Structure formats: structure tokens, C-alpha cells
């Protein structure tokens, strides 16, 4: 399976989501953007300006289309577009999908950094007003993904390691598990 994570919006959570999914799926991680992935996921991550198409991989693409990125998007089983509840981020998510929909039709929007149900509803409404059947999954605001990157452990590894994390992050972990299920099952 090939999963691409891309948006024109910086700071929407591309790298954190890409790292978490790659780690929990035991996939390779490739980025075309400067990031900490090679350190956080040593031996299983690579920064490449011209990404190669391989199997069992998560691609973390900066908000630009370098050589080879469109080929990867075409070959991807799923394209994930992170989006926060901010007018600019929603506009950039829509623009990203519009630019790429000729190359792939299997998109998922992940509404990130949500502070409540209202945030999720607003992101979902904005995207579904333009793309009526667009699936949208919630990931509320948390430091769990930032911590996962810093410690080189996935959210599920952090949950297994700490009862406190398992308890205090139970809501975000449930949302993240829904994302993992969608990626694995396509729904």
C-alpha cells in the first residue's frame, strides 16, 4: 500500500501523521521536505527530492510538487490531506485536492488540531460543500504526535508504554485508531 500525505498548508500536521502511520503500519517513510524523519525513524525513513515509488510506504510531501511527486500521487492508494479549522488551511486543503484530483480520486481529509466538535464540524462542512462525498476524520489538538516524533515512538507505542498516556490521551488515541482503521480498511 502507498499512502501520500500532502497539503499546501504548512503546520497542518503532515509529518507527525506520516510518521505515526508509517511507524504503526511498519511502513517505510519518504519525504521531499526537510524534517526530522530520518532521526526519528532511523533506518526506515529517507528524505528524497525525487521520491521513488515503492510498496508499503507513507509519503510526507511538503506543499509543493517536485519532480516525481505527481507520479507518486498517481500510484498512491490513498491521499491524506491534513487541515486545521482555519480559513486559510481549509482554502489550501481545497486547493490541494483540486490540483491533485485529476491524478487520484481516493482522498481523505484529516481535520487536525481540533479544540472541539464545532471545529470538526466547520472543517467537515467547508470540505463537503466543495466535495460532497469527501470523508473527513477528526484528530483533536494534542502533544501526543509531537512527543511521538521527539521520542521516535508511535502513538500506539507510547500508549502501550504508559498507563498515564493511555488514560489522558484516550480520546485522541481513539481518533487516531479510527484513522488507522480507515487507512487499513478504506472506511
Residue 145 pLDDT > 70, yes or no?
yes
State how many domains the chain has: 1
Residue 114 pLDDT > 70, yes or no?
yes
Residue 67 pLDDT > 80, yes or no?
no
When pLDDT is cut at 50, 70 and 90, the band that residue 144 belongs to is very high
Residue 67 is part of a domain; what is its CATH number?
3.40.50.300
Q: What is the mean pLDDT of residues 139-156?
A: 92
Residue 63 pLDDT > 70, yes or no?
no
Give the H or E element holding residue 20: helix 14-25
Q: How many CB atoms lie within 10 A of CB 116?
A: 10
Q: What is the mean pLDDT of residues 35-60?
A: 93
- Structural domain of 164: 2-185
- DSSP assignments along 51-95, one per residue: PPP-SSEEEEE-SS--TTHHHHHHH-SEEEEEEESSHHHHHHHHH
Residue that has been written with the C-alpha cell 500506539 in this structure = 156
Burial (0-12, 13-18, 19+ Cβ within 10 Å), 138: buried
Whether this prediction's pTM lies above 0.85 is answered by yes
Amino acid at each position: 500500500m502507498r499512502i501520500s500525505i500532502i497539503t499546501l498548508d504548512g503546520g497542518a500536521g503532515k509529518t507527525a501523521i506520516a510518521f505515526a502511520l508509517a511507524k504503526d503500519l511498519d511502513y517505510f517513510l519518504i519525504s521531499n521536505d526537510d524534517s526530522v524523519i530520518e532521526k526519528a525513524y532511523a533506518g526506515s525513513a529517507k528524505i528524497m527530492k525525487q521520491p521513488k515509488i515503492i510498496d508499503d510506504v507513507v509519503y510526507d510531501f511538503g506543499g509543493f510538487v517536485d519532480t516525481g511527486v505527481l507520479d507518486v500521487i498517481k500510484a498512491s492508494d490513498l491521499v491524506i490531506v491534513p487541515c486545521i479549522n482555519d480559513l486559510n488551511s481549509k482554502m489550501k486543503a481545497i486547493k490541494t485536492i483540486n490540483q491533485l484530483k485529476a491524478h487520484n480520486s481516493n482522498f481523505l481529509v484529516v481535520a487536525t488540531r481540533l479544540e472541539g466538535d464545532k471545529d470538526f464540524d466547520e472543517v467537515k462542512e467547508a470540505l463537503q460543500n466543495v466535495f460532497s462525498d469527501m470523508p473527513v476524520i477528526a484528530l483533536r489538538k494534542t502533544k501526543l504526535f509531537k512527543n511521538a516524533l521527539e521520542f521516535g515512538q508511535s502513538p500506539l507505542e507510547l500508549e502501550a508504554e504508559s498507563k498515564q498516556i493511555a488514560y489522558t490521551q484516550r480520546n485522541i488515541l481513539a481518533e487516531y485508531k479510527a484513522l488507522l482503521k480507515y487507512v487499513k480498511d478504506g472506511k
